[in-house]
Amino acid sequence: MAISHEIAADLSRDAHPKSTETKNENMDFLNILIVDDSAAIRKVLIRVLRQTELPLGDIREASDGQEAIEKLEEASAGLILSDINMPNMDGLQLLSRIRSEKRWKHIPVIMITTEGSKSSVLQAVELGAQGYVRKPFTAEQIKDKITSCMRNCRQ
């Protein structure tokens, strides 16, 4: 799978990839679910998402995987940004649950991770994550990863 090779290549790089110009005119409004046990990180991600100039719809938050499932039960999402390390249900368990549900398995998931969790990122890819972003991140990195993910998911 091409995405897995792309993620593996990203894992082997020391520096973050350089940003590329993208065009947003073909993107629909994107409803996003942010899953992270840190309220501060969720707020930073919301602020960063608003700086990206992507066509955003609703941005909802969950503090762990279990709460994310509850939010998905209420209303689906067009994209999920999830931390890996969380209490109750971690990001890998959440990803596994999402991929096991017919109604959600099409939702792209981008993992948000720290530098030291390469094995977790590889496991996430095996479970079906479309990408990852390392903490700390910039608005441009988030925008590039989401744009790339949405382009690849539409093909």
Residue 24 vs residues 17, 119, 146: alpha-carbon distances, Å:
20, 33, 11
Q: Which of 108, 115, 68, 100 is nearest to 87 (CA)?
A: 68
| Residue 99 amino acid letter | R
pTM (predicted TM-score)? 0.81
What's the rounded Cα separation, in Å, for the pair 153 and 107?
Answer: 9
Question: Of all residues in the chain, what percent are helix, strand and coil, respectively (each to 5)?
Answer: 45, 15, 35
Right CATH number for 2-8+28-148 from 3.40.630.30, 3.30.70.20, 3.40.50.720, 3.40.50.2300? 3.40.50.2300
Pairing of strands 131-134, 30-35: unpaired
List, for residues 71-129, the tens digit of each pLDDT value: 999 999 999 999 999 999 999 999 999 999 999 999 999 999 875 567 888 899 999 99
